[in-house]
Amino acid sequence: MASYIITGGKTLHGVAETKTAKNSALACMCASLLTNEPVTLKEIPRIEDVNDLEAVLKSIGVNIRWSGNDMTLIAPKKINLKEINSQTASKIRVILLFIGALANRLKNFSLPRAGGCKLGKRTITPHLFGLEKLGMKISCDPTAYKIKKPHGLHGTKIVMYESGDTSTENVIMAAVLARGRTVIKLASANYMVQDLCYLLNAMGAKISNIGLTTLIIDGVEKLHGALHYIVPDPIESMFWISLAATTNSSLLIKGCPEEFLELELLKLEKMGFKYSVVKKYKSKSGFFNLVDIKTRPSKLIALDDKIDARPFPGLNIDNLPFFVPIASQAKGTTMIHDWCYENRSIYYMEFQKLGAMVRLADPHRVFIEGPTQLKANQVMSPPALRPATILVIGMLAATGKSTLYNTYSIDRGYENLYGRLKKLGADIKEVK
């Protein structure tokens, strides 16, 4: 178990580059199973979740080649799930996407139950209800999902039971090769869903209304290989923004996906956060608007209203935790309402160990009083990516030497985070 040793209380400076999106990369890797031609994904982040998914894909015969951070995947003509790396597959939630990706290649199959962040009960019923409308029969036991496809897949109208990112992606991947037209209503329009749709269209799919909550998919007979640039990660951009706001630092944050940070930045602006957009340009794929943001030291005030998340174009659910360290430095009381997950707000209470004044109202709501001078401490990292990462921000703002134990959760989603923080002047060491 690796640990971070952080001596905080320092102002940071320099340039923070936004890496490509973990959630997009994982979905696009799964989409390679829809063809046996080469799919090249440009600028894949080198993170543990990618390593785990790579191991699972290799175990079922997918040929994977790396060139720097570019990955080329070639799925075999015949998929054999008997040799699947079940131990690794059960660690990652993205294994759910194998259902949609393999639905048109296998008649009957089973997959290990999904893992991922420990965030309380995480329902998969939106996946099941959507996929069953296309013609699948799915059952679950304590260790596996069992999928049957009695009469092939057919297009239909689907109202998503929940506007989830992964469930929408699952239905999309099954629908692109189904017979006829599929209309998905209440679909997620989040960045990773859009990115997956752009890749699938490059592979020969016919998906329209990308970026809207009603998707129209006309099934095609087969898909082919493609080259695709992964979108930069708005959640990583938000990490750097939160770091700048919490440590009162001037940072140049490059490659921020503008459309997926607009509400976050508006709320921060109303909290007194000072920043400017210094450059606007297109992503390498040509589909997303990026901006470079320059932050400035700011005096923060709490918002009168609660801060909560919503499906896109609302405040991103994965960005909500980054308001916890910010709120600890804002004058007044901030209420953060994390309605989506059963346990994530409980992890926010770890900030008390750094001296923050955090009060848990119920499993979904916390009240944070600020501003507070954070103090160093030794903390065990929570088994969830974003709650673990915000502790790094808190420790960098805290006076004294802190230790964050077991940083695997952070390595799941951030490439070389401690090394990149060092370049900004952070006093941080990784101990293995």
Same domain? 111 vs 244? no
Same domain? 250 vs 172? no
End position of a domain, from candidates 213, 229, 245: 229
Answer for the pair 104, 79: CB distance below 8 angstroms, yes or no: no
Q: Which segments of 137-266 are extended strands (E)? A: 137-140, 144-148, 157-159, 181-185, 206-208, 214-218, 226-229, 250-257
Same domain? 165 vs 254? no
Report the pLDDT value the prediction gives residue 121, as an integer from 0 to 100: 46
Same domain? 217 vs 115? yes
| Catalytic residue numbers, as ranges | 117
93-137 residue pLDDT tens: 899 999 999 999 998 899 988 754 443 445 688 898 999 999 999
Same domain? 199 vs 241? no
Same domain? 66 vs 212? yes
Same domain? 149 vs 217? yes
d(CA 238, CA 69): 22
Report the pLDDT value the prediction gives residue 103, as an integer from 0 to 100: 92
End position of a domain, from candidates 184, 206, 229: 229
CATH number for 200: 3.65.10.10
How high does pLDDT run on average in the chain? 94
**Beta-bridge partners for 147:** 109, 138
Same domain? 312 vs 197? no
23-78 residue pLDDT tens: 999 999 999 999 999 999 999 999 999 999 999 999 999 999 999 999 999 999 99
d(CA 181, CA 219): 6
d(CA 157, CA 219): 13
Same domain? 180 vs 302? no
d(CA 316, CA 238): 10
- Token pair, residue 148, equals 């049957």
d(CA 120, CA 346): 10
Matching residue, tokens 């919503």: 310
Total-model pTM? 0.95
Same domain? 266 vs 180? no
Matching residue, tokens 């916390």: 366
Q: Domain span at residue 106?
A: 22-229
Spatial neighbors of 156 by CB under 8 A, at least 6 apart, are 133, 134, 180, 182, 183
d(CA 117, CA 63): 28
Report the pLDDT value the prediction gives residue 117, as an integer from 0 to 100: 45
Q: Which segments of 160-312 are extended strands (E)? A: 181-185, 206-208, 214-218, 226-229, 250-257, 274-282, 289-296, 300-301, 307-308
Q: How many helices (H) and strands (E) does the chain have?
A: 14, 24
End position of a domain, from candidates 210, 229, 248: 229
The fraction of the chain above a pLDDT of 90, given in percent, is 86
Domains of the chain: total: 2
Same domain? 193 vs 254? no
Same domain? 43 vs 100? yes
> In which region does residue 261 sit, left (phi positive, over 0), alpha (psi from -120 to 50) or beta (all else)?
alpha
d(CA 196, CA 170): 10
132-184 residue pLDDT tens: 999 999 888 878 888 998 788 999 999 999 999 999 999 999 999 999 999 99
